[in-house]
Chain A
Amino acid sequence: MTAPLIISGPHTHSKFSVTETMIAVMLCLTPATALGFYMFGLPAILLFAVTIASALLFEALCLALAARPVGRALSDGSAILTGWILAMTLPPWAPWWIGTVGAFIAIVLGKHVYGGLGQNPFNPAMVARAMLLVALPVPMTMWVLPAPLLSPGAPDLGAALAITFGTPPADIDSVSAASTLGHVGAALDGGRTLDRILPETFDLHRLFFGNVPGSMGETSALLLLVGGVFLAAMRIIRLNIPLAVLGSAAALSGLLHLIDPGQFPSPLWHLSSGALMFCAFFIATDYVTSPVSGVGQLIYGAGIGLLVVVIRTWGSFPEGVAFAVLLMNACTPLIDTYTRPRIFGRDRRGRPLKIDEGDAP
C-alpha cells in the first residue's frame, strides 16, 4: 500500500481539527466584535488590525527562530485568536504601539517562551493585558464614549489614523469617560453609596446592549452571550466553565448585595458590566490553560468568578478578570491532578472494584 508507515487504528476521524476550532471561536466572537467596531468606529478597527497583524508577525518570527514550519503553524489560527482576544480587551482608541507591545507580550512572553501552542501555562492574551495594565495604567484606562460609525461625532479616517498612529487630538479628553466599573469604584472610594451613584451610570439596558464606554469585549453582554451559546451548541466548549464563572460571581455578589445593598451592587450589574461575560465564554474556556476534566472545570470556573468579584469589590483595580484568570491558570495543573476521572473498573483511588456478591444481575 501507499502508506509508508505502520499506522495503528483508528483509521477514521471525527474531522474535528484545531484550525476549525479556532475558526469557530472567531465566528462566535464576530457579533460582539462587529458591534464594537460600530460603537467605537474607525480607531477601533485600526487598532484591531494592528494587534492581529503584530500577533501574526511575532508568531512567525518565533516559529522561524525555533526552526519550525512557519506556514503550517500560522494556519492553525491560534495567533489570530490570541491577537483578537487581546484587541477586545484594549481601550478602543489606544495608540497602535499598545496593540503591538501587547501582541509581543502575548505571543513571545506568554506563549513561545514556554514552547509554543499547547505549552503555555497562562492565557497569553491575559498575560499581555495584565502586564500592560500594570506598566501603562494611563493609556490602558483611557476609555471613550461610544461614537457609532457614521454618526456625527465619529472620527473620520484622517482623525482615526491620527488617533491610532499619530498624536491623539487635543480634544480626546472631551470624549473620554470612565467605564462603569471604574466610575462606581471611584465613587465608592469617595464615600458615596450605590443608591446615589448607580443612577448616574448604571443602565442595565445599555450595559447589556453595549452602548457604554469600555473595551470592545466589555460592551455588549448580550452578543457575547449569544456567541458563547453558539460555541457551546457547536460543542467547541462545554458549559462547565462559563456556568461556574457566572454562577459563582452571581452567588458571591448576590450574598454581598443582600448584606449591604448600599455598598455592594447587585449580581445582575456584575454579570452585565465589565469583561465578565467575555471572560466566561471566551477567555476562561481557553483549552490550553484550563483544566480538562468536568469537575476540574467547575472548580476552575468558580475560582475565577469568585476572584473577579473579590478583586472588583476590594482590589485596587476596577476590573479583575485578567488577574482572576491568571491566578486560576496557575492552579490548573493542581486541579487536573486532583480531579482525574475514575478509571473503569477501579475506585477513585485506583484500586480495582470489589465484587459484591449480591450484585448479580
Chain B
Amino acid sequence: MSLISLSALRRTAGAFAGRGGIHPETRKYLSADSPIEAMPLPSILRVPLQQHIGAEAVPVVARGDQVLKGQLIGKARGPVSANVHAPTSGKVIAVGYFAAPHPSGLPVSTITIRPDGADRWGARLPRLVPEQATPDEIADHVKQAGIVGMGGATFPSAVKLDLRKRFALKTLIINGAECEPYLTCDDRLMREFSEELADGIAIMARALGVEQVIVAIESNKPQAIEAMQRRMLAIGCPARVTRVPTLYPMGSEKHLVQAVTGLETPARALTAELGVVVHNAATAYAVHLALRYGEPLISRVLTVSGFGVTRPANVKVLIGTLVAEILDHCGGLDGTPDRLLLGGPMMGLPIRSQRVPVIKGTNGILALQKSETRRHREMPCIRCGGCIKVCPCGLMPMEMHGMIQAGDLDKAVDIGLLDCVACGSCSFNCPSNIQLVQSFNYAKGRLAFQQSQKHQQEETKRLAETRKARMDAIAEAKRQAMARRKAEMAARKKREAETETPAVPAPAPTAERTG
C-alpha cells in the first residue's frame, strides 16, 4: 500500500497533459517586494535598430540631428518589423554599428543619442479614442508605436493583432505567468498598474474581436492575481483571471494555451488556428500607453537581480540604457559575478560586456554568483531519463544530443529537434551537466546555415544562368550587328560597283564558289 500512496505523492506536472516541466528555485523574493522605480536619465542611449524579430528598421535621422522624446528614429521595413523611437530628447552623436546585447557581442546597427537632460516631448502619436476606433485603426496605432512582444520573443504586436483577418479568434490570453526564476517585473506591473493593464487588455480585446479574455498568472503571485481580479469588470467582455500552477515553462505560449484551455496546438501551427491569441502582460501596458497617451514604446520595466547585485530592484528604464548604468543605479555589482545575463536564468542570454544597451525584449538583468549558476563539469550520459521526464514537448533530449554529437543532424530533426522550444528543462535536470540546450541551439543554427547555403547555391545558379543568358544575348546581338554591318557593307559595295560599272556582269568568285 505504501508503494501506491507514495507514487501518488510524486509531483506530477498535470498542467502539460501529465508530463514535463520543472520546479527551479525561483528566488523571486530578491526583488518581488521592490516597487517599480524610475531610473534617472542615463548619460548615453544606444538604441539598436534591430530589437525585434524580422527586418531591421531603417534609420531616419543622421549624425548631429537633434531629436525629441518619442520622435521616430528608425522606420519599420517590410511587414514584419517595428518602428524605433527616441527614448528622450537629445543629440544623435552616431549612426553606426555597436555591440549588440547578445552573447556573440557582434555589432548591430545602432543610433546613439546623448540626452540633453530636458526630456522634451516631440509630437506624440495621433490621438485615438479606442472605444470608437476600428480594429484596423488600433492595430495601426500599435504598429506606429513600435510595440513588440515584451516577454522576450519580441514579435511585432501589430502583426499578432492582425491575425484576426486570417483566423476566427475567440480568446485572448494575457500571459502573466512569468515562469522564469528571479524575474518579477510583470508581477510588479500587475500589482501596481492593474488598472492600466486592464485598459490595455480591453483595447487589445477590441482590436482582436475576441469573445473572452483570460489572464493567466502563476499561483506563486497571489497579490498580482488579486489585483488583476479586481479589474476584470473593466475589460468589457467576459474576462477572468486563471491561476495556473507554478511550473516552468508555463510562460511558453503553446504550453500556456494548453494549461488554460486544454487545447494542444498542432506542431508548426499558430495558436491562432485554435482561435487563441497570447499577449504578454507588459505588452498590454505598452498598448495602454500608446493608445491613451500617444506614447510609443520607449521604456520598459525590468528586473535587476541575482546574488551578484547589491540592491535587487524592478526598474523602469529607457530603451537603449546601458547595462552598466542600470547596475550602477542598483548599487553596482557585489563582487565579480560568475555570469551576467539578459533575461531569466533559464533562457536568458549571457553577455560579455556591461556596455551593451537594454532593448524592448529585455525583461531582466541578472548577475549570478557561482553558487547560483550551473556547474561546468560534464560527465557521460547515464541514460537516467531525467531529460525525457521533464521535457514539456515530449522529446528525447539525450537521444537528440547523441545524434547531434555524431553529426547526424537530419536524424535529430526526424525525432523532433525542430519541435524543441529551447526551454532548458532538460539541461536543468541533467545529473551529468550535459549542455543539451546548447547542443540543440547549435544544431538549429547549423541547419539554418545549411539552409542558407543551399539557398545561396540556388541563387548562384540562377545568377550564373542569367549571366550566361545575358552574355549569350550580348554575343548574339554582336553577331547580328556584325552580320548586319557585313550585309550593309556588301550591299553598299554592290551599289557602288553597280553605279561605277553597270555593264560588267556579275563577279566571277560567286560563280566559282557555287561551282
- Among candidates B7, B22, B269, B273, residue contacting A14 with C-beta atoms closer than 8 Å: B22
- From B32-40, B52-60, B347-355, B469-477, the one touching the partner chain is B347-355
Task: Give the dominant DSSP class at B's interface.
Answer: loop
9 A–B pairs (Cβ distance < 8 Å), ordered by A? A7-B350, A13-B428, A13-B433, A17-B433, A118-B381, A292-B396, A293-B385, A361-B274, A361-B276
Q: How large is the interface on A (under 10, 10 to 19, 20 to 34, 35 or more residues)?
A: 35 or more
- Among candidates A10, A12, A232, residue contacting B437 with C-beta atoms closer than 8 Å: A10
Inter-chain contact total with CB atoms closer than 8 Å: 202
In the bound complex, what is the Cα–Cα distance between A354 and B274 (angstroms)? 10
A314 contacts partner chain B, Cβ-Cβ < 8 Å:
no
B380 contacts partner chain A, Cβ-Cβ < 8 Å:
yes
B156 contacts partner chain A, Cβ-Cβ < 8 Å:
no
Contact B437 A119 (CB under 8 A): no
Residues of B within 8 A of A (CB): 2-3, 6-7, 10, 16, 19, 22, 24-25, 103-104, 170-171, 181, 212, 254-255, 261-269, 273-276, 336-341, 345-352, 366, 368, 372-375, 377, 379-386, 388-389, 391-396, 398-399, 415-416, 419, 422, 424-425, 427-429, 431-433, 435, 437-438, 441
Contact A11 B419 (CB under 8 A): no
Q: Say how far A328's CB is from chain B's closest CB, in angstroms.
A: 15
In the bound complex, what is the Cα–Cα distance between A6 and B438 (angstroms)? 10
Contact B419 A14 (CB under 8 A): no
Contact B394 A12 (CB under 8 A): no
Contact B266 A345 (CB under 8 A): yes
A343 contacts partner chain B, Cβ-Cβ < 8 Å:
yes
Contact B264 A345 (CB under 8 A): yes
Contact B339 A14 (CB under 8 A): no
Residues of A within 8 A of B (CB): 1-3, 6-14, 16-18, 20-21, 72, 76, 78, 116-119, 229, 232-233, 235, 238-239, 242-243, 287-290, 292-293, 336, 340-346, 350, 352-355, 359-361
> Chain B residues with Cβ under 8 A from A359's Cβ?
263, 274
> Chain B residues with Cβ under 8 A from A16's Cβ?
386, 429, 431
In the bound complex, what is the Cα–Cα distance between A352 and B416 (angstroms)? 11
In the bound complex, what is the Cα–Cα distance between A132 and B282 (angstroms)? 67
Residue of A nearest to B19 (CB): A341
Contact B340 A1 (CB under 8 A): yes
In the bound complex, what is the Cα–Cα distance between A17 and B340 (angstroms)? 24
Contact B6 A10 (CB under 8 A): no
In the bound complex, what is the Cα–Cα distance between A160 and B503 (angstroms)? 141
Contact A9 B265 (CB under 8 A): no
Contact B419 A346 (CB under 8 A): yes
Contact A343 B263 (CB under 8 A): no
Residue of B nearest to A242 (CB): B3
Residue of B nearest to A11 (CB): B345
- Among candidates B262, B348, B374, residue contacting A13 with C-beta atoms closer than 8 Å: B374
Contact B6 A232 (CB under 8 A): yes
Given A13-B433, A16-B429, A352-B266, 15 more contacts at CB 8 Å?
A1-B339, A9-B347, A11-B345, A11-B366, A11-B368, A12-B428, A14-B22, A17-B431, A21-B382, A117-B380, A341-B395, A343-B393, A344-B264, A344-B393, A361-B212
